[in-house]
Amino acid sequence: MALVDVSAVPQHVAIIMDGNGRWAQQLGRARPLGHREGSLAVRRTVRAARRLGVRALTLYAFSEQNWERPAPEVQALMVLLRDYLVSERGEILDNEIRLRAVGDTERLPPLVRDVLEPLVRESANNQGMTLTLALSYGGREEILTAARALAAEAVAGNLDPEAIDASALEGAMPSLEVGPVDLLIRTGGEMRISNFLLWSAAYAELYFCDTLWPNYSEADLYDAVAEYQKRNRRFGRVEASVTEAQAESKSEPKGESKSESEAEPSTSIRHAQKNAAI
């Protein structure tokens, strides 16, 4: 296991959990077995991230495109998601983890939402790590939904079009509530980000590993963080301004007051956020 500097841990880690199906196929088993083993890797990773001091962990659990998979596989994934939430409820609450979900969660079946929504509400005031599950999520779709919400406000006369800037758009995007991604990890050997957190991960450090998700361990996460700590993050700027940019990315702890536009979003924006995050 790599040694890491606990004083320089990435504040927001996002993971594309890839390789469940290939893991099962290598064993000559059905794909749902890989997903079930992958849920154990989720448990390990959440625990490891919390111990490291990661403030926010976002997991790409189910994409918009995943609905196009065979119906039996989708059903198995929904049952597995429900089972995970039920089994991890105690650990989430006992460790002060705040659970969130982003994406078109209205598409999730009742068997998932009936467990997910109460747990999100019950953990809303927890002060530990924030765990965000991206469910029925697409990065382009999130940006489009936010843009439509702002456009609706402008048409209604509630928002000056000239006031629509990056901050306004970010205020309408639920994934940005926990701040931009510092480290984006993808397992399974593929080198693409698959429409995940496109805005939030604009300046993230990317880390790809060959480990299939069911095999992902605490040591793998430590390796990723150790590599992250070797890099010099410039955020597209010259060296002299890097320190300031890094300070800005860490200067807003959870619970800190936000700008008026973020603290009190207008009706259309709140509606868009409700549909995209619970």
Distance of CA 88 to the CA centre of its chain: 18
Query: Buried (b) or exposed (e) across 52-78, using 16+ Cβ within 10 A?
Result: bebbbbbbbbbbbebeebeeeeeebbb
Which strand (E) or helix (H) includes residue 100? strand 98-102
CA dihedral 144→248→98→88, nearest 10 degrees, is 90
Active-site residue, from 5, 18, 20, 114: 18
Q: How far apart are CA 94 and CA 189, in angstroms?
A: 34
Q: How far apart are CA 121 and CA 98, in angstroms?
A: 9
Distances (CA, A) of 57 to 137, 180, 220, 275: 16, 11, 15, 21
Q: How far apart are CA 18 and CA 34, in angstroms?
A: 10
Using the structure block, give the residue that is written with the tokens 């929904």.
78
Is 99 strand, coil or helix? strand
Indicate if 66 belongs to the active site: yes
Q: How far apart are CA 245 and CA 216, in angstroms?
A: 31
Edge-to-edge strand order for the sheet containing 205-208? 98-102, 130-137, 56-63, 12-16, 183-186, 205-208
Q: How far apart are CA 276 and CA 141, in angstroms?
A: 10
Using the structure block, give the residue that is written with the tokens 């976002």.
58
Contact 165, 133 (CB under 8 A): no
Using the structure block, give the residue that is written with the tokens 């406000």.
153
Indicate if 232 belongs to the active site: no
Active-site residue, from 5, 20, 66, 220: 66
Active site residues: 18, 66
